[in-house]
Amino acid sequence: MERTNILLILALIIALIFHGSAIFFTLESTYDALIHLFFADHYAKSWFEPWDYRWYTGFTVQSYPPLVHQAIGLLSYIGGLKFGMFTVGLIAIILFVTGAYRFSFLMVGNRRIAGYGALLAVFSSTFVETLHIFGQLPSIVGLSVLMHALPEIYLWIKTGKYRYLLSSLSMIAVTVTSHHVTPIFGMVFFIFPLIGMVVMDTAREQVTTMKQVTFMVFFRAFKRLFWRIVGFGMASLFLIITCILPYWYNSKRNPITQVPIPHGSRDNFLEVTSSGLVFFMIPWGILLFLLPYIFYRYYSKRYLFFGLSFSMLTLLGTGGTTPIPRALLGETAFNILTLDRFTLWATIMALPIFGEFAYRMVEGDLKDKIQSTFGGVYHRILGGLLAGGLLFMVIFTMTLGYFRPSQPAKIKMLPIVNFLNQDSHDAWRYLPLGFGDQMAWLSAQTNAMTVDGNYHSARRLPELTTRAIERIENSKFRGVAGIGSLQQFLTVPEKYNLKYIFSNDKFYDPILYFCGWQRLQQLENGIMVWEKLNVPPLPAIMPKEDVPVFLKIMWGIIPILTVLVAFFINIQMLWIHMLKAKQKKPPSYTERAISYSGFSGRLITISHVWSLVVLTCICFGIYSFYIHNSAQHSPLNVVKAYYNALDFKMFEEAHSLIDPNSEIDLAQYMLEVSVTDGILSSYAKMDSIGVELLEETPTAAKAKVNTVWITPLEKLQKEEVVEMVRLGGEWYLKPSKFDNDIPPDQLFTANGTTFYNHGRRKITTQQTHHEDVLQQPVLEILSAKLVNFEGHYCVIGELQNVDNVPADVVIKATLYNEKDIELANHNAKYLIKHKLMPKETTPFRINFEGIAWSSTKDTLPPTFDPDQFTPVDLSEQPLKFNIQAAGNVANTDLYKAVALQELQLANGSYQGTLYNSGIQEVTIPQLLVSYYNADHELLWVDHQFLTEGVRVQRKQYFEYEPLDLLELETIHSGTENCFVNGLPNAAISAKLFPTRNRTHVQEQVQPYSGQGFSFLKFHLNSYIGNPK
Partner 1 sequence: MRLKALLFLLCIVTACGNRQELPVAPILGYASLKTPPKEYIAGEPIVLEFQESGFDRPLHLLLTNAFGNVVLKGTKSKKFTNYHFPKPFYRVAGKCRWKLLYCGRTIKEGSLDIRPDVSVQPGLETYFGPRSLTAGDSDFSMLVVVPTDQYDNPLPDGTITRVRAQFQDSITEVEVPTTDFIAWNNILSRRQAGRILVGAYCQETDTKELTTIVNPALSEDFKIAVERNHDFADGNQIVRFHSDIIKDPYGNSISDGTLVEFMITDSKGGLLKTMGTTVNGIAKASMLHPSQAEDWKVTAFITGAAKSNTLRVLFKPAISDFSVNFSPDSRHVHIGPLQSFMGQQVPDGIMVRLDIMNADGKQLEQKRASSKKGTTSFYLPKTYFTAGSYRIKVSVAGLAKTFQIQLDEHEIE
Smallest distance from the beta carbon of 931 to partner 1, in angstroms?
Answer: 14
Smallest distance from the beta carbon of 751 to partner 1, in angstroms?
Answer: 5
Q: Name the residue nearer to partner 1 (CB basis): 298 or 960.
A: 960
C-alpha of 1006 from chain center: 48
**CA-to-CA separations, 860 to 43, 259, 432, 544, 863, in angstroms, rounded:** 38, 9, 26, 31, 9
Q: Are 1019 and 930 in contact (CB under 8 A)?
A: yes
Q: Name the residue nearer to partner 1 (CB basis): 326 or 702.
A: 702
Could you give the CA distance from residue 472 to residue 486 in angstroms, rounded to a whole number? 6
Q: Which amino acid is at 352?
A: P
Smallest distance from the beta carbon of 692 to partner 1, in angstroms?
Answer: 11
Q: Name the residue nearer to partner 1 (CB basis): 274 or 764.
A: 764
Smallest distance from the beta carbon of 908 to partner 1, in angstroms?
Answer: 13
Cβ-count burial of 83 within 10 angstroms (0-12 exposed, 13-18 middle, 19+ buried)? middle
Q: Name the residue nearer to partner 1 (CB basis): 595 or 697.
A: 697
Smallest distance from the beta carbon of 798 to partner 1, in angstroms?
Answer: 10
Q: Name the residue nearer to partner 1 (CB basis): 654 or 722.
A: 722
Q: Are 122 and 15 in contact (CB under 8 A)?
A: yes
Q: Name the residue nearer to partner 1 (CB basis): 368 or 739.
A: 739
Q: Name the residue nearer to partner 1 (CB basis): 729 or 994.
A: 994
Q: Name the residue nearer to partner 1 (CB basis): 582 or 737.
A: 737
Could you give the CA distance from residue 946 to residue 922 in angstroms, rounded to a whole number? 11
By residue count, the chain amounts to 1028
Q: Name the residue nearer to partner 1 (CB basis): 259 or 894.
A: 894
**CA-to-CA separations, 66 to 294, 345, 561, in angstroms, rounded:** 35, 22, 12
Q: Name the residue nearer to partner 1 (CB basis): 16 or 992.
A: 992
Q: Name the residue nearer to partner 1 (CB basis): 487 or 989.
A: 989
Q: Are 844 and 458 in contact (CB under 8 A)?
A: no
Q: Name the residue nearer to partner 1 (CB basis): 438 or 985.
A: 985
Bridge partners (DSSP) of residue 542 are: none
Q: Are 962 and 939 in contact (CB under 8 A)?
A: no
Bridge partners (DSSP) of residue 1022 are: 925
CA angle 72, 75, 81 (to 5 degrees): 60
Q: Name the residue nearer to partner 1 (CB basis): 216 or 742.
A: 742
H helix intervals, 632-723: 635-647, 651-656, 666-674, 679-682
Smallest distance from the beta carbon of 523 to partner 1, in angstroms?
Answer: 29
Smallest distance from the beta carbon of 468 to partner 1, in angstroms?
Answer: 42
Q: Name the residue nearer to partner 1 (CB basis): 40 or 722.
A: 722
Smallest distance from the beta carbon of 479 to partner 1, in angstroms?
Answer: 34
* CB count in 10 Å sphere of residue 622: 10
Q: Name the residue nearer to partner 1 (CB basis): 753 or 859.
A: 753
Smallest distance from the beta carbon of 929 to partner 1, in angstroms?
Answer: 12
Asked whether the CA dihedral 936, 942, 948, 949 is positive or negative, the reply is: positive
Smallest distance from the beta carbon of 757 to partner 1, in angstroms?
Answer: 13
C-alpha of 548 from chain center: 33
Q: Name the residue nearer to partner 1 (CB basis): 254 or 706.
A: 706
Could you give the CA distance from residue 539 to residue 537 in angstroms, rounded to a whole number? 6
Could you give the CA distance from residue 458 to residue 506 in angstroms, rounded to a whole number? 28
Could you give the CA distance from residue 577 to residue 783 in angstroms, rounded to a whole number? 89
C-alpha of 191 from chain center: 33
Could you give the CA distance from residue 995 to residue 780 in angstroms, rounded to a whole number? 13
Q: Is 286 in a helix, a strand, or coil?
A: helix
Smallest distance from the beta carbon of 73 to partner 1, in angstroms?
Answer: 36
Cβ-count burial of 901 within 10 angstroms (0-12 exposed, 13-18 middle, 19+ buried)? exposed
Smallest distance from the beta carbon of 913 to partner 1, in angstroms?
Answer: 8
Smallest distance from the beta carbon of 378 to partner 1, in angstroms?
Answer: 60
Cβ-count burial of 467 within 10 angstroms (0-12 exposed, 13-18 middle, 19+ buried)? buried
Q: Is 968 in a helix, a strand, or coil?
A: coil
**CA-to-CA separations, 318 to 158, 506, 937, in angstroms, rounded:** 35, 37, 63
Q: What is the DSSP string of 45-68?
A: H-SS--EESSSTTSEEGGGS--HH
Could you give the CA distance from residue 359 to residue 872 in angstroms, rounded to a whole number? 67
Q: Name the residue nearer to partner 1 (CB basis): 256 or 903.
A: 903
Q: Is 594 in a helix, a strand, or coil?
A: coil
Q: Is 996 in a helix, a strand, or coil?
A: coil
Smallest distance from the beta carbon of 810 to partner 1, in angstroms?
Answer: 20
* CB count in 10 Å sphere of residue 726: 18
Contacts with partner 1, residue ranges (CB under 8 A): 694-695, 702, 737, 739-745, 751-753, 755, 770-771, 775, 782, 800, 804-806, 836-841, 894, 896-905, 912, 915, 917, 953, 955, 992-993, 995-998, 1000-1001, 1003-1007, 1017-1018, 1020
Could you give the CA distance from residue 277 to residue 649 in angstroms, rounded to a whole number? 26
Smallest distance from the beta carbon of 723 to partner 1, in angstroms?
Answer: 9
Smallest distance from the beta carbon of 926 to partner 1, in angstroms?
Answer: 15
Q: Is 476 in a helix, a strand, or coil?
A: helix
Smallest distance from the beta carbon of 1023 to partner 1, in angstroms?
Answer: 16
- Which residues have CB under 8 Å from 773's CB, separation 6+? none
Bridge partners (DSSP) of residue 943 are: 928
Tell me the backbone φ, ψ of residue 105, rounded to 5 degrees.
Answer: -60, -45
Could you give the CA distance from residue 224 to residue 620 in angstroms, rounded to a whole number? 54
Smallest distance from the beta carbon of 563 to partner 1, in angstroms?
Answer: 44
Q: Name the residue nearer to partner 1 (CB basis): 422 or 753.
A: 753
Q: Are 886 and 782 in contact (CB under 8 A)?
A: no
**CA-to-CA separations, 913 to 196, 897, 901, 957, in angstroms, rounded:** 79, 14, 5, 4
